[in-house]
Structure 1
Amino acid sequence: MTSRPTPFGSAGEHLLQQQLGTADRAHRFYDQQVRPCLTPQMRDFIGHQTMVFLATADSRGECDASFRAGPPGFVHVIDEHTLAYPEFRGNGVLASAGNITENPHLGMLFVDFTRDRIGLHVNGVARLYADTDLRALHPGLPTDVAPGRSPELWVHLSVEEAYIHCSKYIPHLTESPRPAPQDSATRPKDAQYFTGPRHAAHPSSH
């Protein structure tokens, strides 16, 4: 059976689906789960999330994965086609934002680890805005994302596709027992955590 063309998925995906015999299953997923914009349920889900994982690449296709976090709603749903999130002062590298200036394609993965154990992929085209410029276009942007701090930039995403990440392998992070937090007196500072002298392994690694 030959599946009909789909507007979703890359040429590489479709080639491997044909080679591995998964094309019909993949097309059912595209038809049933992939949307060209955010459904009301997706918009509500994003509004409750406190973290998101980011995927960007530069003009040569070299990739970078990153992470953002904030209070619920820090990734602001402007409408069914548009999201925005703030960029604050960090280490000065600006890896994700720098990639966006070369290659505007951005992948976002929201994961609920604590309640429903479900994920949401949102892919689209990103553009960087100064805080005042984006607020002039969208006055409803949140003002309390980080008390006492102002965004250096906003990332504005025009959504091209959104789809589920199923719960099968998402861990439930509130399960017991939890590892005890490391004593702050013995924990290396962030700047030395991976580059300084070796420190005691976490209990779970024994």
Structure 2
Amino acid sequence: MQMGQIGSAGERQLQSEYGTEDRAAKFYSDQMLDHLNPTMIEFIGRQEMAFIATADASGECDNSLRAGTPGFIHVIDSKTLAYPEYRGNGVMASLGNIRENPHVGIILVDFVQDLIGLHVNGSARIVEDPVLRSDVADLPADHANGRIPERWVVVEVEEAYIHCRKHIPRMAPVP
């Protein structure tokens, strides 16, 4: 990825004001990818929850939890992933935002084993379950509590990077 294409103008302005340009440039060159590498793909396959950030056309934000059995987020290829949308409360805040503004941010955090997080930023689209299932042969068929996805959010990966462990608390799963 080229430095001029990464981050917002505000990000770069603050890097200049606070003297962090060199650290930021090193982060961008050493850690930020435009795809998922094999370690990231394996990590995603083990996760049971993700936080999905969206914003509408006016910039009003929403952040929603998505959860399922390990592998509920399906990596289609190194540039594409999909997560299921089930019948819920009918509000469709995240999907409504995606309809207006396809930019999404996903963070997956392992609080138990690795104590790391994975950030994925990209462009999303909504695909009905039968349509995606006809295009993606290995889309998961078994889902938590027998729930069937109504649709999927397919994300084209634009940025992916690991969140270091120094600020992630260790937690223990409970039944």
Aligned residues: 174
Corresponding letter in the other structure for 2:160? A
Query: CA shift at 1:147, angstroms?
Result: 4.3
The share of aligned pairs that are identical, in percent, is 59
Tell me if the contact between 2:122 and 2:159 (Cα under 8 Å) persists in the aligned partners. Answer: yes
SS in structure 2 opposite 1:144?
A: coil
Partner of 1:111: 109
User: Which structure has the highest strand share of the two?
Assistant: 2
Tell me the TM-score normalised to structure 1 length: 0.81
Task: Find the aligned partners of 1:135 and 1:147 in 2 and give their Cα distance.
Answer: 20
2:59 to 28, 51, 61: 61
Pick the aligned partner of 2:11 from 10, 13, 16: 13
Cα shift readout 1:173-195 (whole Å, capped 9, x = no counterpart)? 129xx9xx9xxxxxxxxxxxxxx
Aligned to 1:38, which of 25, 36, 39? 36
2-side partners of 1:5 and 1:150: how far apart?
Answer: 42
Question: Counterpart of 2:124 in 1: which secondary structure?
Answer: strand
- Structure 2, gaps ≥5 residues long: none
Q: In structure 2, what is the Cα distance between the partners aligned to 1:67 and 1:39? A: 24
Letter in 1 for 2:92: L
Per-residue deviation, 1:149: 2.1
Q: Which has the larger radius of gyration?
A: 1
Residues 6 and 30, structure 1, Cα contact 8 Å, conserved in 2: no
Contact 1:57 1:64 in 2 (8 A): yes
Aligned partner of 2:157: which letter? Answer: V
SS at match of 1:116: coil
Aligned-residue RMSD, C-alpha: 1.7
* Contact 1:6/1:27 (<8 A) preserved: no
> Quick one: distance in 2 between partners of 1:6 and 1:76?
31
The correspondence of residues 17-32 of structure 1 with structure 2, limited to 5 A, is 17-32=15-30
Name the structure 1 match of 2:95: 97
Asked if the contact 1:50/1:73 (under 8 Å) is kept, the reply is yes
Correspondence list, 1:1-206, <5 A = 5-174=3-172
Higher RCO, Cα 8 Å, sep 6+: 2
Mapped to 2, the partners of 1:147 and 1:111 lie a distance apart of: 23
Task: Tell me by how many angstroms 1:148 deviates.
Answer: 2.7
Amino acid aligned to 1:156: V
Per the normalisation by structure 2, the TM-score is: 0.95
> Stretches of 4+ moved more than 6 A in 1?
none
